[in-house]
A = this chain, B = another copy of it.
């Protein structure tokens, strides 16, 4: 299969390198030619910075920022004929491609950093297409890279993306806040590492709410108050502490209420 890659960021790079094992990535497009060249070189592909330079491929993958997908999809229509065009975004509706004859979404649910190799076999791939032929074609290369292929529509995919931001992006932000706080207090972040891993492992093994621990779920307002005081010189973190503790307290109250019934 011939694949043209539109984009050169984290997703384009990691997905391109994986697909390149099984298929020929013929071209890499970026509006910044140097970026396109960097990835194209690793894929023995041609780097281009004009969509007009696109040559025929079996599939065109738009792996770019959400905000530019629609615009690129509008421009690309002149060069792709009836061939498959897909984007890789969790939160952009498949409809932004609906002016094309064959289109779909290929959303890998994973956090991509160039720093860490991806274990593709475990990455859920969420597919959506406008017709069976398009879906079949996407499935064909999806099964080569992952053992977990799902067919979800745009609304479900969007819900999943939002949930992923809440569960993962926000958690990582909180890890970072803890890291900075401990650095300031000259306490080794290493101490927290097994607790961070254990918390995540518990949450996937049980129902997260069932294994909630900490002062807020115990209704221990004394500790909550002291923690809040400890953050008096960090108003942003203090606010985050209060908002999240309030959320857990609400849950604590509703649990207590259920116990009484």
Report yes or no: B166 in contact with A205, Cβ–Cβ below 8 A. Answer: no
Q: Which of B179, B182, B209 contacts A159 (CB 8 A)?
A: B182
Chain B residues with CB under 8 A of A176:
203, 207-209, 212, 251
Report yes or no: B200 in contact with A116, Cβ–Cβ below 8 A. Answer: no
A219-235 interface bits toward B, Cβ cutoff 8 Å, 1 = contact, 0 = none:
01011001100110000
A186 within 8 A of B: yes
* Stoichiometry, copies per complex: 2
Enumerate A96-139 residues with CB–CB distance to B below 8 Å.
Answer: 109-113, 115-116, 122-124, 126
Cα–Cα distance between A193 and B191 once the two chains are bound (Å) = 24
Report yes or no: A250 in contact with B226, Cβ–Cβ below 8 A. Answer: no
Instruction: Identify whether the interface residues of A are mostly helix, strand, loop, or mixed.
Output: helix
Report yes or no: B187 in contact with A196, Cβ–Cβ below 8 A. Answer: no
A95 within 8 A of B: no
Chain B residues with CB under 8 A of A163:
178, 181-182, 187, 192
Known interface pairs A185-B156, A202-B116. Does A196 touch B179 (Cβ–Cβ under 8 Å)?
A: no
Query: Closest CB of chain B to A11's CB: distance in Å?
Result: 10
Report yes or no: B199 in contact with A168, Cβ–Cβ below 8 A. Answer: yes
**Which residue on B lies nearest to A166, using beta carbons?**
B178
Cα–Cα distance between A244 and B227 once the two chains are bound (Å) = 18
Q: Which of B171, B194, B236, B239 contacts A110 (CB 8 A)?
A: B194
Q: Which of B67, B175, B216 contacts A169 (CB 8 A)?
A: B216
Chain B residues with CB under 8 A of A123:
194
Q: Which of B110, B152, B187, B211 contacts A172 (CB 8 A)?
A: B211
A253 within 8 A of B: no
Cα–Cα distance between A251 and B236 once the two chains are bound (Å) = 11
Cα–Cα distance between A111 and B202 once the two chains are bound (Å) = 9
